[in-house]
């Protein structure tokens, strides 16, 4: 009888040990599952934020370029600077505040930390004696980019060309290109091409209400 009791007692302890091992394994597996779920949720949130940032940047650039004022040779306020890293131009305010007149606008590619780049959008008012105080606005459209560039196409007698026919000519098409690393370690090149739609002529006195020449 005593031997039987010892065997039963030893078997019970063995079962307890096995149960503890299995329980520890289940706890570990459960924590790993929760960790994977948490990482998945975080990656989804970051991806959603990235998409929202990209959509906002595209909307800002598209709206500004669509309201570009062609350069006027006799007025430096309406000049255009078009390089691989800077596109500076005058634009009509896009949100109904036409009493502000034209705004100086700049899309610029700047270096950032660790050899990366960022694309910045700036607007300000440079006219002396203006009755409106408009602070310079600066919006970072993209950051931590591996590369970025601006490219232009000009309308010439031979069709679209990468060089302007005249020094003061405004580009017909502006293309912004950038490459960024996504949140799963891959890279992809993106681009945005916008046609400058206000074609008012070289010396047009633009009416900011109707967006037509006076």
First to last CA, the chain: 115
Q: How far is CA 208 from the centre of its chain?
A: 28
pLDDT > 70 fraction of the chain, expressed in percent and rounded: 69
- Determine which of 5-19, 47-61, 165-179 has the lowest per-residue pLDDT on average: 5-19
| pTM, entire model | 0.65
Of 126, 72, 133, residue with least CA distance to 97:
133
- Across the range 4-23, mean pLDDT stands at 66
Q: What does the DSSP 8-state code read for residue 80?
A: -
At residue 88, does pLDDT exceed 80?
yes
Beta strands, E only, the chain: 68-69, 81-82, 86-91, 103-111, 117-124, 137-156, 159-161, 173-181, 187-195, 206-207, 212-213
The residues spanned by each domain of the chain are 58-213
Q: How far is CA 153 from the centre of its chain?
A: 22
Look at residue 187 in the predicted model and tell me its pLDDT: 58
- Determine which of 5-9, 71-75, 109-113 has the lowest per-residue pLDDT on average: 5-9
| Res. 206 pLDDT band, cuts 50 70 90 | very low
Q: How far is CA 48 from the centre of its chain?
A: 13
- Across the range 129-143, mean pLDDT stands at 71
């Amino acid at each position: 009888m005593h031997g039987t009791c010892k065997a039963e007692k030893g078997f019970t302890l063995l079962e307890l040990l096995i149960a503890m091992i299995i329980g520890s394994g289940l706890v570990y597996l459960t924590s790993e599952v929760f960790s994977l779920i948490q990482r998945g949720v975080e990656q989804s949130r970051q991806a959603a934020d990235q998409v929202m940032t990209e959509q906002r940047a595209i909307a800002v650039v598209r709206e500004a370029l669509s309201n570009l004022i062609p350069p006027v040779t006799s007025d430096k306020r309406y000049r255009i600077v078009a390089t691989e890293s800077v596109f500076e131009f005058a634009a009509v305010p896009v949100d109904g505040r036409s009493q502000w007149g034209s705004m100086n606008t700049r899309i610029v590619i700047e270096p950032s930390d660790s050899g990366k780049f960022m694309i910045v959008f700036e607007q300000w008012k440079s006219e002396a004696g203006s009755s409106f105080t408009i602070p310079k606005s600066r919006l970072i459209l993209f950051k931590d980019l591996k590369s970025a560039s601006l490219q232009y196409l000009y309308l010439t007698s031979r069709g679209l060309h990468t060089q302007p026919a005249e020094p003061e000519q405004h580009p017909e098409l502006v293309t912004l290109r950038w490459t960024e690393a996504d949140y799963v370690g891959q890279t992809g090149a993106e681009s945005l091409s916008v046609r400058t739609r206000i074609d008012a002529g070289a010396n047009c006195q633009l009416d900011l209400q109707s967006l037509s020449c006076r």
